[in-house]
Chains A and B, each alone.
Chain A
């Protein structure tokens, strides 16, 4: 990857002096990563299908078909692409609705963890000293807590309000983010180029805007893409245990849980699990691609 650009360098240096920005470089590297690009396409398709699909004349998710009861295998002629579940409901439609829940969790919970993590980490790094020590000690303590037990308890407490469960998941996944942001802020504060900017009279505001934020953003974006699959996983884990989304709503976790009980007679009911796995796989590929693109020295 690197040697190609080295060969191009002399000509590029003569013709065009204006260097490429971090983001242009990153985009270039990302677009070369075939696994990551195809994952983005697959994820886009899944997202569009989940949110737009149900409006395209499919049957409603609670539509019970007595001819397809109990669980019937996929029947393309009748429009049951994933077959039906034990109550004769269209499993494909249920998977799409479940996807809406799972993908919404991904956005909400990741956003919560992003906000808490960035604020905590940046404050800790900027203030420094004793407060920094105390704030990081808290993160250390939280690290050694069996998190899933707390999420389960939070779920029990907030059981009736599904949105609060999203927040609960987000509120326990910010620790790594806080560490990353703190580390970045700490090391950036003392970098020569920041000092140089100070010396050449750039205002503090411009330094933060032009140098500190862009340099923090790379690792943050990488970490956000890696948080999303974890959050989806946690939600489906809870739903699988019967603690997340309740009937008639579904999430991928509840569908897998239903499928697991009847897989002997109706193996197609594990198809939502495959969709979940494909989504998580793609998200991981995108996350890895982002890391390679934005943080090449990490490799």
Chain B
């Protein structure tokens, strides 16, 4: 197990290196630079600015410099937000993004698992059809369509949640909008695997020996049924991170996702790189965690 863990961790290094390399050369290939402004700048000022940020060096040289910085844990200064380093910007935005993301993940797991299990128990009834219909909608309707509709209905027409400002009640709608597609995906996965497990021999045996159905489900069925959901956790985290980019924009939430879009549009090279690497690491770690958890739940999996 420890061996497997270390091996996977070592395997993450080339992945990370590819993420860094590709994103570095891509963002530097984008037309325009961080200091292109409407105002005309004198040649001297421009040259000084470029020298200060080492933009006068060749791209491979800059790449080496960036790698050395990274090895020392330095993401560099932000090119656009003067006086801030990229690390400071990420530190400032991350708590908000993390809260939003983990609440959405929690909601997705709780709602998705329970909806899936209920649908499996009531297979081919109205309950099943409505859960599956709702989850189809959840998968199909993009969250940037869902978010304005939710705001319109619950914020403006029904006035149950506040629309402006940024306090705890403002978290409700973004979290729901962010979680819905994942709720739907998890519900579908759970229903499918639950149906399979409920028909399996060992569940029939448990029932036959007189175990109440509630205990059969809690002790035996769920454990096997959530395995596909566990392996979906990695992609789910990636989807939530992707979704947070638009959700943070729609609800003007001060998180990291917003920085990325701004950074890409303003050619804030270091900020774009920093966010990509940061989220890359999170996704790699989540995939690793979900694989380890998978092995813990499924005794058939062997680490080698």
Residue numbers of A with Cβ under 8 A of B are 141, 143-150, 152-154, 156-157, 159-160, 229, 233, 236-237, 240-243, 253, 256-257, 259-260, 263-264, 267, 270, 273-274, 276-277, 280-281, 283-285
Of B15, B147, B156, the residue contacting A260 (CB under 8 A) is B147
A277 near B140: Cβ-Cβ < 8 Å: yes
What sequence of 0s and 1s flags, for each residue 6-19 of chain B, a beta carbon within 8 Å of any chain A beta carbon? 00000010110011
Binding site for A on B (CB under 8 A): 12, 14-15, 18-19, 22-23, 26-27, 29-31, 136-137, 139-142, 144-145, 147-149, 151-152, 156, 234, 238, 241-242, 245-246, 249-250, 260-261, 264-265, 267, 272, 275-276, 279-280, 283-284, 287
Contact residues in A for B260 (Cβ distance below 8 Å):
149, 152
Chain A residues contacting B156 (CB-CB under 8 Å) are: 263-264
For residue A272, give the distance in angstroms from its CB to the closest CB of chain B.
9
Q: Which residues of B contact A153 (CB under 8 A)?
A: 23, 26-27, 30, 264, 272
Cβ distance A264 to chain B, nearest Cβ, rounded Å: 6
Dominant secondary structure of chain B at its interface with chain A? helix
Q: Tell me the minimal C-beta distance from B157 to chain A in angstroms.
A: 9
Q: Pick the contact of A148 from B234, B245, B265 — CB < 8 Å?
A: B245
Can you name the residue of chain A whose Cβ is closest to the Cβ of B29? A157
CA distance A264 to B275 in the complex (A): 33
Whether the Cβ atoms of B18 and A141 lie closer than 8 Å is yes
CA distance A217 to B145 in the complex (A): 34
Asked whether, in the complex, the Cβ of A152 is within 8 Å of the Cβ of B261, the reply is: yes
Do B246 and A241 have beta carbons less than 8 Å apart?
A: yes
Q: Out of A152, A260, A280, which one reaches B144, CB within 8 Å?
A: A260
Q: Smallest Cβ distance from A2 to chain B, in angstroms?
A: 15
Contacts of B234 in A (CB 8 A): 144
B245 to chain A minimum Cβ distance, whole angstroms, is 7
Please measure, in the bound complex, the distance between the C-alpha atom of A280 and the C-alpha atom of B143, giving whole angstroms. 12
Chain B residue contacts of A141, Cβ below 8 A? 14-15, 18
CB of A145 within 8 A of CB of B18, answer yes
CA distance A285 to B151 in the complex (A): 27
- Across the interface, do A241 and B261 meet the contact criterion of CB distance under 8 Å? yes
Are A233 and B142 also in contact (CB < 8 A) when A152-B264, A256-B148 are? yes
Does B275 lie within 8 Å of A149, measured CB to CB?
yes
Tell me if A146 and B30 are in contact (CB < 8 A): no
Sorted nearest first, the 4 A-B pairs with minimum C-beta distance are A273-B145, A281-B140, A260-B148, A280-B140
Q: A residues within 8 A CB of B275?
A: 149
From B27, B140, B267, contact of A284 by CB (8 A): B140
In contact, A256 and B145 (Cβ under 8 angstroms): yes
Q: Identify which of A157, A233, A242 contacts B26 (C-beta below 8 A).
A: A157
B242: contacting residue among A148, A154, A263, CB under 8 A = A148
Bound: A276/B280 CA distance, A: 30
Given the complex, which residues of B lie within 8 Å of A277, measured CB to CB?
137, 140-142, 145
Evaluate contact between B283 and A146: CB separation under 8 angstroms.
yes
Question: Which residues does chain B contribute within 8 Å of A280, judged by CB atoms?
Answer: 140-142
Q: Which residues of A contact B147 (CB under 8 A)?
A: 260
Given contacts A149-B279, A256-B148, A154 and B26 within 8 Å (CB-CB)? yes
Interface centre among B23, B234, B246, B272 (most CB of A within 10 A): B246
Residue of B nearest to A260 (CB): B148
Residues of B within 8 Å of A156, CB to CB, are: 27, 30, 264-265, 267
- Smallest CB separation, B93 vs chain A (Å): 15
Q: Are A145 and B264 in contact (CB under 8 A)?
A: no
What residue in chain B is nearest A229 (Cβ atoms)?
A: B140
Cα distance A156–B34 in the bound complex, in angstroms: 13
> Are B15 and A243 interface neighbours, CB within 8 A?
no
Q: List chain A residues, Cβ under 8 A from B246.
A: 237, 240-241
Q: Are A276 and B145 in contact (CB under 8 A)?
A: yes
> For residue A276, which residues in chain B have a CB less than 8 angstroms away from its CB?
142, 145
Instruction: Check if B265 sits within 8 Å of A243, measured CB to CB.
Output: yes
Nearest chain B residue, comparing its CB with the CB of A236: B142
- Who on chain B is nearest to A152 by CB? B264
A257 surroundings in chain B (CB, below 8 A) = 144
